[in-house]
A and B are shown apart, each in its own frame.
Chain A
Amino acid sequence: MSDNIFNNCENLEIKIEQGIIWVYFKLTSGKSLTTLTEKSLSDLKDFLTKLTPIQKDYKGLIFSSHVEGCFLAGMDIDVIASLNSLSVAQEGTEAGQKIFNMIDDLTIPTMAMVDGVCLGGGLELSLACKKIVASDSSKTRLGLPEVMLGVLPGFGGTYRMPKKIGLINSLDLLLTGKHLDAKKALKLGLIDGICPRERFSIYAEKFLFAKKEKTMLENLKIFASENLLVQKLALQKAKEKVFKQTKGFYPAPLRILEHLEKSIGRNRREWLASESLSFAELSQTIQSKSLLNVFHLTDAVKKDKKQNEVVKIQRSAVLGAGTMGGGIAWLMADHNQNPIMKDIAKTSLELGLKQASQNFKSALKRRKISEDVYAKKMFSITPTLDFTEFKSVQLVVEAIVEDMSVKKKVLADLESKVLEDCIITSNTSSLSIGEMSTSLQHSERFAGLHFFNPVNRMPLIEIITHPKTSPKTIASLYQWCLQVKKTPIVVKDGPGFLVNRILATYLNEASYMLMEGVSISHIEQTALEFGMPMGPFRLMDEVGLDVSGKVAKILHDGLGERFRPAPLSELLLGKGWLGKKNGKGFYLYGNGSSNGGSKDQNTLNPELQSLLTNQTKKMTAQDTLNRMMLPMINEASYILQEGIVANAEVVDTGMIYGIGFPPFRGGLLWYADRVGHHRLKEWFETLSKDVDQTRFKMSDYLTNIISKQSRFYP
């Protein structure tokens, strides 16, 4: 036996130790994770072709990786993005399937020794081995996340996963794309053992040659669950669940179920043929391409590591213990910031604690945290009425009442209580950060930090800069947001910042339509069918009509006539209806409390009708949608024109993570690009003629894009 048979190649390192072949995946230059590339797949193919005829000379084959914390993060995302036709996609998956079949068909013992990330193609490769052993590292994650990109595992994953852990167990993993840690994977039978990474080489042989016989109980379980009847039933149930959760917007999970249903009981060849066809077809859907864009957006946020010097924020504080203050304190406590929560009354502090406690309790209920951790996290919060401990914080978030003069006073006072390098921020949703900054001696350390409500569910944070905000401050806040697992975007100061400014045009246009006599349910339905998480009127109720009215006024004052508010909210506010918070708005909410139940929440406010003209105006869904989407697209183009954010990608990140703009649409401007300049032009022209000249007048930026027949995205 000599090492020379397998020339080491660029992407694989092959070593033979005591008759066992070790294949290590290497890092492709410039990447931080090991991935499967076309190159590494072809290296793998060459190796397996050489090995197969002489495999008897070796005792076994082990796949592993030299990169700590990463076995294989799956297929390189750029490869998936490059699949620009059905046939390319199908050929690609078939080629991959063949290589993994070669592993599957080896007769010698084969094993994957996994440390860290083992996802997608990485897990499919591991499944082609006879055994998988994973390290006990906290980084170890196994899963098939393809569904999140709108496709399915195309290298035999849909075939080998059910074979290994049963169809019913596989469904959850295939349909949600969720990751398992080593312990859960072992319990499910996805892996065959757990071994510390440091001892891989010592225990490799033991695991490789261990014989595993199923116990009687396991056999019984298999018999009970893996029969056709139970499987069909499970598929049916899964289909109902998927439909309920995705409302049919996402084709991938449904296609996965369809493919599995067709393939049960078939042989490998047939099963894999169905898999590659399903993959290829899904890969060409607009939804998959949009989800890929969302992946890129998210990735860009994480990678945006400004090389600036940053303030390391170890402890932070929040001023004001309202719903937002409590939520922010929760976030800080959840990420070990030992937060200080200051307010001016004990009762307010208790409200803030209640908010934080509720958030932790919901994690406790879902068993995400233990009772001990819950208590510990709550005790890590310091509720206080004074500034005693403020010299120990590096970040303060002001979340008090939305009143400029009060805020300025509080900020000026705060500055005298903190150390020089402490970053001061305001969580205002509508007031000018620039004006607020004038209350500070060192305004370079000041910025807006706009959280969205509820803090525990909304991933976005807008970092609002004013002209004097220092790069160090911005970089520090950006890093902090990532540290507390939020999605930051950097936005220049201006009325409504980014998200609320764009959102307001949507809410306002919906209001105008309602006043023109279009029915509320038609408008809501159109928004929902587009994929928005809730209709515009429901959203106004949630935000509070007083709040959205106030924001509308600020925008109108700041940005001019295209923001002239429809007189609708005035009508409702005149009746004293504030929306969900006092039980009455466009909808009715059970007794003003949360025990209304979902049924109540669907009840339109019957008194609303008397305020409105007869809701008899008929509009097509497309026209209704255009009325709501076009003002948003236009406003986004104004924002780009003014340089409020860096580019279209930031706008879309904000829209997806700030208001839940449907991910399968890829983002607002991604969607606009798909609509195309041609139709956009036509639609804008019609609406400015038929509806309103001011509101549907295209920005120069947009006019320019359309005349150049260009796009928002590069």
Chain B
Amino acid sequence: MSQRPVYIVAAKRTPQVKSGSELKDVAAPFLGHYLIRQMVSEFNISDVDEVIVGNTGTPAKYANVARVVGLEAGLDKKTSCYSVHRNCASGMEAISQGFDKISLGRSSVIFAGGVENMTQMPLIYGKKMTDLFAKLMRAKTPGDRIKAIMAFRPNFLKPIVAIEQGLTDPFCGKNMGQTAELLAKELNITRKEQDEFADWSHKKAVAAQKAARFKDEIIPIIYGEDRNRILDTDVGPRDNSSVESLSKMKPYFEPGTGTVTIGNSCPITDGGAMVLLADEATMKKNHWTPMARIVEYHFHGLEPERMGMGPLLAMHGALARAGKKMSDMDLIEVNEAFAAQALAVMMACKDSKISSRWGINETVGEIARDKINVNGGAIALGHPVGCSGARIIVTLAHEMQKRKVKTGIASLCIGGGQGGAMIIERV
């Protein structure tokens, strides 16, 4: 397939913060609009063809989040904007669609990324209460109305927590933590291994913060009830993290006998990330220097109850499409939904006996410890669902610049049983 090259010109993100804290008052569109605004100003962009934004918790008020992001960013009203949803990989899905459109020559300049405010995911009335409201609306006579109201029972008011439902697989009935437990059990991943992995993620993230590794990718954001504070750094990484303190936490998803704890899982997080994509002609015309070129991407499905293994299949597919090997990758980002899940992917990549369970009979290739999530992963930095797919590409692109390395891959597992991966190349 002949493709036109697609470049990442700039890549920016918000600081990421555990839900319910600093960014709780920043509605989803405002986790993205200012990122675009800055890139537009910095690169003096006059025409944007498309804004594609991943988001899973679609706020009732902003049904098409992307449109609000685009308009609030000050883009021309003629700009096409749409939102995409592929659960945990929504942000990557947005970038992959931007890649397709530019590579096919349909578009020249696209903003793609993801925003997620998990704090603001709603509580919902249950079906019984909703039915009651519906009956009440249809009631014509006072008698009908009283009859409808009489059917009320206090337990109708018990809310459904949208986020809880969203993190439970509707097909297999397991919640995400339980899928991680399943992989841990089947692959014999111990509690200790998981806690060590989580601690390692914090240590890497703290070191990265101290070395100002994220400075170029984060644009400070206004926050607070009075909108008079400025946040310029991720809040998740713990300087005082230790395997010992992690080992004291109770298993959350399988009380008593489980291994997955809050400490070795990613926290529920608010954040946004956005990249500027452009074609060759636009790059030349504006004398822009690209950060990277997108080489390939691949999405792949698997059984929902083992969704955590998604990156194995996605990376395998992306590498095959690009004609590359894992050993060609200088940096690797694998989203850390759960330590158990990330460890499972690492195990499967180097062991064809394991990967063959998912139909991959050759060895995909070992993921070197000094290449994976070098600045920490979602366990420390957080996982704003719709944003993470874009966030790991932002972080990867910047780290590749800093290390002056050639190729990198970013991959995530996707709730519902999928994986996504994208390969980029520094130019």
Residue ranges of A at the interface with B (Cβ–Cβ < 8 Å): 338, 346, 349-350, 353-354, 356-357, 361, 374-376, 378-384, 388-392
Contacts and interface: CB of A to CB of B under 8 A. Distances in A.
B34 A389 contact: no
Given A338-B37, A375-B30, A379-B72, A392 B226 contact: no
Interface stretch (B40-48, B98-106, B245-253): B40-48
Contacts of A381: 222
A338 B230 contact: no
Given A346-B220, A361-B226, A383-B230, 14 more contacts: A350-B228, A350-B229, A353-B227, A357-B227, A376-B30, A376-B72, A378-B227, A378-B228, A379-B33, A379-B227, A382-B38, A389-B38, A390-B41, A392-B40
B7 to A, nearest CB: 20
A388 B230 contact: no
A354 B74 CA distance: 24
B48 to A, nearest CB: 14
B276 to A, nearest CB: 14
27 contacts: A346-B220, A346-B232, A350-B228, A353-B227, A357-B226, A357-B227, A357-B228, A374-B227, A375-B25, A375-B30, A375-B227, A376-B72, A378-B222, A378-B227, A379-B30, A381-B222, A382-B37, A383-B220, A383-B222, A384-B220, A388-B38, A388-B41, A389-B37, A390-B41, A391-B41, A391-B44, A392-B44
A353 B220 CA distance: 13
A273 B286 CA distance: 75
Contacts of A346: 220, 230, 232
B34 A379 contact: yes
B27 interface: yes
Interface string B121-159: 000000000000000000000000000000000000000
A390 B38 CA distance: 10
Nearest to A351: B228
B51 to A, nearest CB: 17
B37 to A, nearest CB: 7
Nearest to B45: A392
A353 B41 contact: no
B37 A353 contact: no
Contacts of A391: 41-42, 44
Contacts of B30: 375-376, 379
B41 A392 contact: yes
A393 to B, nearest CB: 8
A389 B227 contact: no
Interface residues of B, number: 22
A350 B230 contact: yes
Interface of B: 25-27, 30, 33-34, 37-38, 40-42, 44, 72, 74, 220, 222, 226-230, 232
B338 to A, nearest CB: 33
A346 B228 CA distance: 11
Contacts of B229: 350, 353
B382 to A, nearest CB: 21
Contact of A349 (B27, B40, B230): B230
Contacts of B74: 338
> Per DSSP, are chain A's interface residues mostly helix, strand or loop, or mixed?
helix
Contacts of B34: 379, 382
B228 A375 contact: no
Contacts of A392: 40-41, 44
Contacts of A379: 26, 30, 33-34, 72, 222, 227
Contacts of A378: 222, 227-228
A171 to B, nearest CB: 37
Contacts of B232: 346
Nearest to A377: B227
Nearest to A349: B230
B67 to A, nearest CB: 14
A353 B228 contact: yes
Q: Which of B30, B227, B230 is most buried by chain A, counting CB atoms within 10 A of its CB?
A: B227
Contacts of A380: 72
A379 B227 CA distance: 8
Contact of B222 (A353, A361, A389, A390): A353
B179 to A, nearest CB: 37
Given A375-B25, A379-B34, A383-B222, A389 B228 contact: no
Contact of B228 (A354, A376, A384, A388): A354
B291 to A, nearest CB: 16
A389 B12 CA distance: 14
B223 to A, nearest CB: 10
A406 B220 CA distance: 27
Q: Which of B25, B26, B30 is most buried by chain A, counting CB atoms within 10 A of its CB?
A: B30
A559 B227 CA distance: 45
A327 to B, nearest CB: 14
A361 B225 CA distance: 11
Nearest to A378: B227
Nearest to A391: B44
A361 to B, nearest CB: 7
B77 to A, nearest CB: 14
A375 B226 contact: no
A375 B41 contact: no
Nearest to A326: B228
Q: Which of B25, B38, B228 is most buried by chain A, counting CB atoms within 10 A of its CB?
A: B228
Which 3 pairs show the lowest CB-CB distances between chains A and B? A392-B41, A378-B227, A389-B41
Nearest to B229: A350
